[in-house]
Amino acid sequence: MNFGFVLAAVTASCCVAYAAPALSQNYPSRPVRVLVGLAPGGGTDSVARLITQKLADTLGQSFVVDNRPGASGNVAGEMAARAAPDGHTLIVVTPTYVINPSLYRNVLYDAIRDFAGVAQIVDAQYYLSVANNVPAASVKELIALAKTRNPRLSYASSGIGSSNHLSGELLKTMAGIEMTHVPYKGGAPALSALIAGEIQVSFTSGVIVPHSRAGRVKTIAVTGAKRTPLAPEIPTINEAGVPGYEVVGWYGMAAPIKTPRAIVERLNSVINKALPELRDRYAALGMDLAGGSPAEFDALLRTERDKWAKVVKLSGAKVE
């Protein structure tokens, strides 16, 4: 037996065993960039800023939100996929990142292949709202109007391939109506356009609720299977006239795929511990806490990719 070889192997394994805890304890060693593929002020941006502040407070380094709107998240997605896998670049992931490969001809990243799930942060329903100048106060009235309106009603989203874009495409398919999609570079400009009456319809995050209660827009339904506790007076699209309709959004944190597992686990632990303290603030945005393990978030990415691929095919939506 080559005892020198055995001793070297044992020493190496011990070094690896001690290296992982040391790596996570020394992380982060400089400010961390958190990519957000949409403009400031929308739902994704709000999710990012709440959780990054907690990460900064706990880990003792700045976590800087870097908004990179463009190409429905593809700009930020490509940046995250190319970033050094050292935990100092993260990305806030939404369904957009698993939808885009079904929509775009050339996507230069793959959320399953290139991202390591850190943790799901929250779930969120979308709110179907109409501008005050639209003569419809219910889903049935909106469908009836859309079937007779010429020119077509327009509906806003936070970008091509976003969940609120495909929420509209799914409604069009299931209700047998036509509407013109108008993509914006984030939820905030889409919301502003709706309030101003520049577009007629939008699927928004829970940030719409105060505007709806103040009379600036009319929110006529939510997209989930059940009514939301934040606004229990608002019916679901399913119960309001389109049986079987259901869309629920989600937000999570991911890192470049080769990020050391010790760093991923440390980030996951901090996020899960921080979420209960953020319950009320996320609830004010119409969002429910999620949390969970990195493996669970990776599984969600795969499941959602398969689900939305079917929706895209059904809708016929494509981006050249």
Contact 301, 59 (CB under 8 A): no
Q: Is residue 292 part of a domain?
A: yes
Q: Rounded to an integer, what distance in angstroms lies between the CA atom of residue 62 and that of residue 48?
A: 13
Residue 72: per-residue pLDDT: 83
Angle of helix 294-315 versus helix 96-103 axis, rounded to 10: 40
Measure the CA angle with vertex 308, ends 201 and 97; round to 5°.
Answer: 85
Residue 22: per-residue pLDDT: 60
Residue 17: per-residue pLDDT: 47
pLDDT per residue as tens digits for the range 253-300: 999 999 999 999 999 999 999 999 999 999 888 788 999 999 999 999
Contact 90, 34 (CB under 8 A): yes
Residue 214, token pair as written in the block = 């103040």
Asked whether residue 115 falls in the same domain as residue 140, the answer is: no
Return the percentage of the chain with pLDDT > 90, whole number.
68
pTM here? Answer: 0.79
Residue 197: per-residue pLDDT: 96
Q: Confidence class of residue 84 from pLDDT cuts 50, 70 and 90?
A: very high
pLDDT per residue as tens digits for the range 134-176: 999 999 999 999 999 888 999 999 877 788 888 999 999 899 9
Q: Confidence class of residue 12 from pLDDT cuts 50, 70 and 90?
A: low
Could you say which of 178, 213, 240 is where a domain stops? 240
| Amino acid (one-letter) located at 188 | A
Could you say which of 240, 268, 301 is where a domain stops? 240
Q: Is residue 20 part of a domain?
A: no
Q: Which of 14-18, 94-98, 291-295, 312-316 has the highest mean pLDDT?
A: 291-295
CA distances from 188 to 45, 207, 267, 279, 307 (A): 9, 9, 28, 22, 27
Contact 122, 283 (CB under 8 A): no
Q: Confidence class of residue 6 from pLDDT cuts 50, 70 and 90?
A: very low
Asked whether residue 271 falls in the same domain as residue 189, the answer is: no
Residue 89: per-residue pLDDT: 98
CATH code, 162: 3.40.190.10
pLDDT per residue as tens digits for the range 22-39: 666 789 999 999 999 988
Residue 256's domain comprises: 32-123+249-315
Q: Confidence class of residue 230 from pLDDT cuts 50, 70 and 90?
A: confident
Q: Is residue 21 part of a domain?
A: no
Asked whether residue 222 falls in the same domain as residue 149, the answer is: yes
Residue 38, token pair as written in the block = 């949409």
Asked whether residue 129 falls in the same domain as residue 119, the answer is: no
- The CB density around residue 16, as the number of other CB atoms within 10 Å, is 9
Could you say which of 194, 222, 240 is where a domain stops? 240
pLDDT per residue as tens digits for the range 242-253: 999 999 889 999
Asked whether residue 270 falls in the same domain as residue 176, the answer is: no
Pairing between strand 217-222 and 127-131?
antiparallel
Q: Is residue 19 part of a domain?
A: no
Residue 21: per-residue pLDDT: 59
Q: Is residue 185 part of a domain?
A: yes
User: What are the phi and psi torsion angles at 70 (to 5°)?
Assistant: 140, 135
Residue 268, token pair as written in the block = 């996951």
Q: Is residue 96 part of a domain?
A: yes
Asked whether residue 78 falls in the same domain as residue 141, the answer is: no
Domain count of the chain? 2
At residue 3, does pLDDT exceed 50? no
Q: Is residue 320 part of a domain?
A: no
Q: Rounded to an integer, what distance in angstroms lies between the CA atom of residue 158 and that of residue 109?
A: 20
Asked whether residue 129 falls in the same domain as residue 113, the answer is: no
Q: Is residue 17 part of a domain?
A: no
Mean pLDDT of the chain: 90
CATH code, 299: 3.40.190.150
Q: Rounded to an integer, what distance in angstroms lies between the CA atom of residue 69 and that of residue 9?
A: 48
pLDDT per residue as tens digits for the range 94-118: 998 999 999 888 899 999 999 999 9
3-state secondary structure the chain: CCHHHHHHHHHHHHHHHHHHHHHHHCCCCCCEEEEECCCCCCHHHHHHHHHHHHHHHHHCCCEEEEECCCHHHHHHHHHHHHCCCCCCEEEEECCHHHHHHHHECCCCCCHHHHEEEEEEEEEEECEEEEECCCCCCCHHHHHHHHHHCCCCEEEEECCCCCHHHHHHHHHHHHHCCCEEEEECCCHHHHHHHHHHCCCCEEEECCCHHHHHHCCCEEEEEECCCCCCCCCCCCCEHHHHCCCCCCCEEEEEEEEECCCCHHHHHHHHHHHHHHHHHHHHHHHCCCEEECCCCHHHHHHHHHHHHHHHHHHHHHHCCCEC
Residue 61, token pair as written in the block = 């380094």
pLDDT per residue as tens digits for the range 29-70: 999 999 999 889 888 999 999 999 999 999 999 999 999 998
